[in-house]
């Protein structure tokens, strides 16, 4: 019988060995999943940020949507000071009746950053998205026959999407590149630990997938594919300061004030005496008697 059936001890050993092997497989699978998750998360943040190296470009385009620190304007101003950029095109949505974000950005570049107004151009628009900005700006670059590389300045997680949209619509002429601003708003290494960075990561991935879907079958734009609105050279607004005439009076001392009040009181008494003479008052009193 022992030749036909295995001993019970051997069966128990095989079951224990099978359970151990199953646990090892589960542990290895979890470890592999954790490694893949870490690699995916860390790489996905870096993949969104497209940082192109360059020596010199003629145009730098500041897309609308920068924060209150105006980090894109500061980055563009540093490039101009270092001789890497010749002209700056500032895009901005209309925020008031006759005011655009481009006006505020350009004014800050001139007054705070010290940029020459001659290198600043503003493009006021009502475009709600990056692709609409590209549709508005790309034909203008084509009409100017710009063959040099154009630098796009936008938020770090939106750089790859912006470069894809502009290059898709331009057809490679001109070529649009992007740069990482290295702003505190998005850190590609530790974005998962910051709430706002996680929101930016998720929003940009969804926006990038949507951009890929929208650009399916879309041809590049030409210089005459739509009416071209040209950016305007920046002009410093003239501020009229009203002239106010201030009437100055000499301050009087307390003694002078009391003397003035006394003289005024005496004048009132004298005036009342003129209106009602003493003899008239005496005659009226006699009649009453």
pLDDT tens-digit map of 53-87: 999 999 999 999 888 889 999 999 999 999 999 99
pLDDT level of residue 146 (50, 70, 90 thresholds): confident
Q: 188-194 — which CB contacts under 8 Å span 24+ positions?
A: 188/45, 188/46, 188/48, 188/49, 188/156, 189/42, 189/45, 189/46, 191/45, 192/41, 192/45
Q: What share of the chain is helix, strand, coil (3-state, %, to 5)?
A: 50, 10, 35
For tokens 């709430």, the residue is 195
pLDDT tens-digit map of 83-140: 999 999 999 998 887 888 999 999 999 988 889 889 999 998 888 889 999 998 998 8
Q: Where are the domains of the chain?
A: 1-48, 57-233
Pairwise pLDDT comparison (173 vs 283), residue with the higher score:
173
pLDDT of 56:
93
- Report the percent of the chain where pLDDT is more than 70: 80
- Which among 233, 166, 165, 157 has a CA at the least distance from the CA of 188? 157
For tokens 């290198």, the residue is 119
Residue 145 clears pLDDT 60, i.e. is over it? yes
How much is the mean pLDDT over the chain?
Answer: 82
pLDDT level of residue 206 (50, 70, 90 thresholds): very high
pLDDT of 265:
72
- Which among 129, 99, 112 has a CA at the least distance from the CA of 68? 112
pLDDT level of residue 234 (50, 70, 90 thresholds): confident
Which CATH number is 57-233's, of 1.10.1270.20, 3.30.460.10, 3.50.50.60, 3.40.50.620? 3.40.50.620
**Is residue 167 a contact partner of residue 136, using CB atoms and an 8 Å limit?**
no
Task: Tell how many helices (H) and how many strands (E) occur in the chain.
Answer: 8, 6
pLDDT of 1:
47
Q: For the ranges 2-6, 13-17, 34-38, 60-64, which has the lowest average pLDDT?
A: 2-6
Pairwise pLDDT comparison (205 vs 15), residue with the higher score:
205
CA distances from 250 to 158, 244, 247, 254, 261 (A): 65, 19, 10, 13, 17
pLDDT level of residue 224 (50, 70, 90 thresholds): low
**CA 64 to CA 149: how far, in whole Å?**
20
């Amino acid at each position: 019988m022992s030749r036909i059936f295995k001993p019970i001890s051997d069966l128990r050993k095989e079951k224990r060995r099978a359970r151990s092997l199953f646990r090892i497989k589960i542990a290895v699978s979890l470890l592999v999943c954790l490694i893949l998750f870490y690699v995916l998360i860390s790489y996905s943040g870096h993949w969104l940020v497209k940082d192109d190296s360059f020596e010199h470009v003629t145009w730098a385009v500041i897309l609308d949507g920068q924060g209150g620190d105006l980090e894109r304007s500061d980055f563009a101003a540093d490039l101009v000071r270092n001789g890497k950029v010749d002209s700056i095109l500032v895009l901005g949505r209309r925020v008031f009746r006759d005011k655009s974000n481009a006006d505020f950005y350009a004014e800050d570049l001139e007054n705070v950053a010290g940029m020459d107004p001659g290198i600043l151009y503003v493009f006021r628009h009502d475009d709600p998205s990056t692709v609409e900005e590209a549709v508005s700006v790309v034909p203008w670059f084509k009409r100017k026959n710009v063959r040099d590389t154009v630098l796009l300045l936008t938020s770090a997680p939106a750089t790859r999407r912006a470069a894809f949209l502009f290059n898709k619509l331009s057809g490679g002429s001109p070529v649009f590149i992007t740069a990482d601003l290295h702003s505190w708003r998005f850190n590609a290494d530790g974005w998962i630990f910051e709430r706002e960075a996680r929101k930016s990561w998720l929003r940009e991935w969804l926006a990038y997938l949507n951009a890929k879907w929208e650009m399916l079958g879309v041809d590049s734009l030409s210089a005459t594919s739509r009416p071209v609105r040209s950016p305007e050279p920046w002009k410093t607004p003239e501020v009229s300061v009203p002239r106010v005439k201030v009437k100055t009076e000499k301050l009087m001392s307390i003694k002078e004030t009391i003397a003035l009040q006394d003289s005024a009181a005496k004048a009132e008494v004298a005036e009342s005496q003129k209106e009602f003479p003493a003899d008239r008052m005496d005659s009226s009193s006699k009649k009453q008697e």
